[in-house]
Amino acid sequence: AWSRFPNLVHESLGIEETSEVEITLADGRSYCGYPDSRQSPRGQIVLWGSDPQTDPPKNLGPFSIDDVVSVRKLA
């Protein structure tokens, strides 16, 4: 199902964890971090990153695939 977001998926490995991404949700919130496929339950994604409200990195999510409107790979 995540294949509709090609910036998030590696062809043969599934969710690609080595690139930082920005996920934008339907309600307009955005989160940046590295996807963690082991912590991501089916149909949801967890990022390891920073919330604009907090300083230290932490697990963000899980976010439902139904709430994600875009995924952008960060440089």
Question: Between these two residues, 49 and 56, which has the higher pLDDT value?
Answer: 49
| pLDDT over 90 at 15, yes or no | no
Q: How many C-beta neighbours within 10 Å does residue 31 have?
A: 19
Residue among 10, 55, 35, 13 nearest 68 (CA): 35
What percent of the chain has a predicted confidence (pLDDT) above 70? 93
DSSP class of residue 4 equals: G
Q: Rounded to an integer, what distance in angstroms lies between the CA atom of residue 43 and that of residue 32?
A: 19
